[in-house]
Each structure stands twice: as structure tokens, then as C-alpha cells.
Structure 1
């Protein structure tokens, strides 16, 4: 990929968070910065230069300088979103072309959530022009662009597979059935099973449980949550159920995974 957005073009970086009431609106406005908008709850109809985009919870969108924007949030529920703003000095035509080539939206990368958390927690103690804030803001942008290759790979998949995978990644903690996944993918359960066998070489439900195990092992390694709490957060019925599937898929018990990650022997 091209040189992209140079770090030295960023003049400030900051983050924000807000909850809009039902039927909340914002704008119209002319975007002055490079901005990532992370929608966590609710929905958003975002009109950019007379083109309407529908954004669902769990998506991050990229806004670019000189766009004309209008935000209309969910009709019947609150909408919570956060944002990371990069103020930039004048961009070259090549840099603007690079931005135009980036995807409008994608599922929020977990690392982007973490960087946004850090920006929000630090900005009361640091100026938005400080090097630490610039570095974190640029990291947020890089995390967004790092998903481009993965997104391109997904585009090569059948669209129903992509829809099912995205739905699983956003709702894995909930109780999901094959008809739920098929409904999200817009196909019959039988057809979804056939598509998964071709593209993923396993069933949709098997993929769901593998993804839950992946998320559980991340929490085991990176948090101090109890196994019971992790089971609840990752869609397992009980702590025993989590332990059994983690052992089956990884060959290690949850305790072994946590000890290895934390460097403990007890």
C-alpha cells in the first residue's frame, strides 16, 4: 500500500464519547478532520455528500476532510458512540486519494476499542498536541487500515458467509441457533451449512463455538475475571462447559492458559 497518511501530518488527536437520545440528530456540518466514529449501541443514518449510509452497532466508520455530513440516530433507542479525531495539516492529492480508497466502515477491531479507552482516560492529563496523544491517535488510524487486507479477503467469500461471520463476531455472547445465523445471512439453514462446508470446512455452529473459545482464552490471558464470569460473557452455559471446550480445542485447561499468560506456577 502507498505511504498513506504520514504521521507528521497529524497536528492533534483526541477522543470523545456521547449518548444520543432516540431521534437524536447532529449537523449538518463540514468535516474538518480525519475521524473514526465507533457506534456501540443503537443505529445511525449518516448522510455524506447527499449519500445515505446506514450504520449498525458494532461498526466503525471513517470520516474524511471536507465531507458534508448529517447524523440521524435510532428512532426508538439511545445510541452511544465514541470517536477518535485526527486534526491534520494540508494533505496532498496523493494523501487524499489514499483516504478515498479506504473502506467506509468495518466491524470495530477490539484493539481500536482499547486505544480509544486510552485516549479518553489520558486526555485530561495531556494536551491533544502532545506526542503521546498523537501516537495513540495515529495508532487508532493504523488499526483501522490494518483491517483492509482482512476485509479484502472477506470480500472474496460468499456474502452470506461474511454476514454470518460478522453476526457471530458481534453476538457470540448471546444464545444463538442455526436459524438465527441463517436469518442474519439471508439464506436457509441448510444452505448456510453447505456454504460453511465449502468456505470454512466446518459447520456454522462449530465456528461459533470455536470463536467463543477464542474470546474466552483472550479473557483468560488478559483479565482477572473468574472463569464463571468469562463463561457468561462468551456465551457458555456454565464454567464447566467453558472448561471442557477450551480443553478440547486448545489441549489446555483455563487454569493452564492463565498461568502461562501470567507467568505463574501456582
Structure 2
């Protein structure tokens, strides 16, 4: 989507910011008038954003693109904590070609590791520098440009490898639930053997190894960004027991859950 790179430049940014918040069960926010371009990344719980009176339900593991000038209100899960992070950039008046490009994009996308890394970097830097620092502005611009890039990549995945895309999407949306190979293959519309071949060819792993790796990454995010107990995180991320959770965290990350949490809080 070249129109983005042509119409949205670093010198147009006035500020950029990133944040993280956990809402208690029954939490609400708004109404407000959105002032920025904002990416809201949902990790746990549930979120319905009402935009100019139109509700948009966002599932965990997804990012939603919010655009300036609209009235928004947020309703979070009634039964559990809802954790989300956001990246926002303030650009003032948007050129017409930029507005047109923005409204061609999907409102939500699956949350990718690249978007998570940008949020991590911004949150880390904002502890030491202001929101108009050049590095912060550059990361905010990168996040906004990443959204259309991920949109294009998602469309290519759907067209070239629909079964793989269907399986990945199912895992992202249901990783907290019980997942096994045969039902996953049924959802993707292929045999278990073919799904294994697809994952080995394009992800360099098996479907179930992908599931457990994805769960570990989501668990690490909860460890570093929330005060949830290890038992609560294990349950939310689909681990069988706290012992199973601890073993896989150590196996995948080389550190214990306590060490990961201590490093992130001390940092």
C-alpha cells in the first residue's frame, strides 16, 4: 500500500505514545473523541468498542485501528480482567489521501510478534524519554506503517495458504482452550498429515509445537505486564497445570517464570 509511505512521514508526527492497562471485571471507559491514530492490542478478557454508535467486538490476540474524529466508548469483560496495550500517534490534520488509505484498511487484525515488539520498545523507552523524542516518534510511525503491511501479508496468506491461515487464526483465537491436531485440521479443511506438512514447510515446526510456542509467548506477556499469579496465567493460556507451565517456560525461554517477572519489573 504505497499511498501510506507517500503521505505519512516522520516530520508530520507531533507526538507518539504507548501504554498498558488492566481493567477489572465490568470496566468501562469513555465516551471520548479520538484525537490520534491509535492501535489497541487486546491480550486477555473481552472488549467492545462503540464507534459513533456502532459496536465493534475485539477478540483477544487482535489489534484494532482507531481513527481520529470519532466518538468511542469501551466496555470490557464482566467476568475477568481485561488487559490491553496501545500505541498512538498524533498527526494533526490528515491529508485526504491518507484518510482514504486508512478507511480501506480492516478495523482489526491478528496481533503479530512484530507489533508486540514495537510496543515493548516504546514502553521501555518512554520510561526515560518524552513522547516527542525522535526514537519514540520513529517507533510510532513504524507501528502505523506496520498495520497496512500486516494487512497485505494477511491477504497473501489467505490466498496462497488458506488452510495454514485458517489454522493459525484458530490457534490465535482459541489458544486458551483445549486444542488437538485432528480438530485443528478439520477446522482448516485438510487432513492432519497435510497440516503437519504445511506447518513444517512454512513455519518450520509442527502444528502442536506452534500451539505451545504461541501459548508460551502469550504467558510471558502476562508475566511481564500483569500481576496475575502463575496459576492464573497457566489457566488463561491453556496449560494443563502450573507445573506444565513452569516446565515449558523454562524449556522455551531458558529462565523460570519468577526470573522473567523479576527481570521485567526491575527493568
TM-score for the superposition, normalised by structure 2: 0.69
1:121 shift after superposition: 1.7
From 215, 224, 232, the equivalent of 2:248 is 232
CA–CA separation in structure 1 for the residues paired with 2:27 and 2:68: 23
1:173 shift after superposition: 8.7
Q: Does 1:147 align with 2:150?
A: yes
From 91, 101, 121, the equivalent of 2:94 is 91
| Contact 2:180–2:208 (8 Å) recurs in 1 | no
CA–CA separation in structure 2 for the residues paired with 1:101 and 1:43: 25
Find the counterpart in structure 1 of residue 190 from structure 2: 193
| Contact 1:33–1:86 (8 Å) recurs in 2 | yes
Q: Report which of the two structures shows the higher radius of gyration computed on alpha carbons.
A: 1
CA–CA separation in structure 2 for the residues paired with 1:54 and 1:45: 4
Find the counterpart in structure 2 of residue 23 from structure 1: 26
From 130, 137, 140, the equivalent of 2:140 is 137
CA–CA separation in structure 2 for the residues paired with 1:157 and 1:84: 30
Gaps of 5+ in 2: 218-243, 253-267
1:155 shift after superposition: 3.9
Q: Does the residue aligned with 2:48 lie in a helix, a strand or coil? A: strand
| Contact 1:109–1:143 (8 Å) recurs in 2 | no
In structure 2, the CA distance between the partners of 1:66 and 1:29, relative to structure 1 (3 Å rule), is: same
Find the counterpart in structure 2 of residue 101 from structure 1: 104
In structure 2, the CA distance between the partners of 1:190 and 1:34, relative to structure 1 (3 Å rule), is: closer
From 43, 66, 77, the equivalent of 1:40 is 43
1:35 shift after superposition: 0.3
| Contact 2:44–2:60 (8 Å) recurs in 1 | yes
Show the 5 A alignment for 1:207-218: 207-209=206-208, 211=210
Q: Does the residue aligned with 2:189 lie in a helix, a strand or coil? A: helix
In structure 2, the CA distance between the partners of 1:207 and 1:157, relative to structure 1 (3 Å rule), is: farther
Q: Does 1:3 align with 2:3?
A: yes
| Contact 2:166–2:188 (8 Å) recurs in 1 | no
| Contact 2:163–2:190 (8 Å) recurs in 1 | no
Show the 5 A alignment for 1:62-81: 62-81=65-84
- Post-superposition CA distance 1:158-196 (Å, at most 9, x none): 9776443212246669762135536xxxxxx39833598
Q: Does the residue aligned with 1:16 lie in a helix, a strand or coil? A: strand
TM-score for the superposition, normalised by structure 1: 0.69
RMSD (Å), alpha carbons: 3.6
In structure 2, the CA distance between the partners of 1:180 and 1:52, relative to structure 1 (3 Å rule), is: farther
CA–CA separation in structure 1 for the residues paired with 2:50 and 2:137: 29
1:151 shift after superposition: 1.5
| Contact 1:59–1:107 (8 Å) recurs in 2 | yes
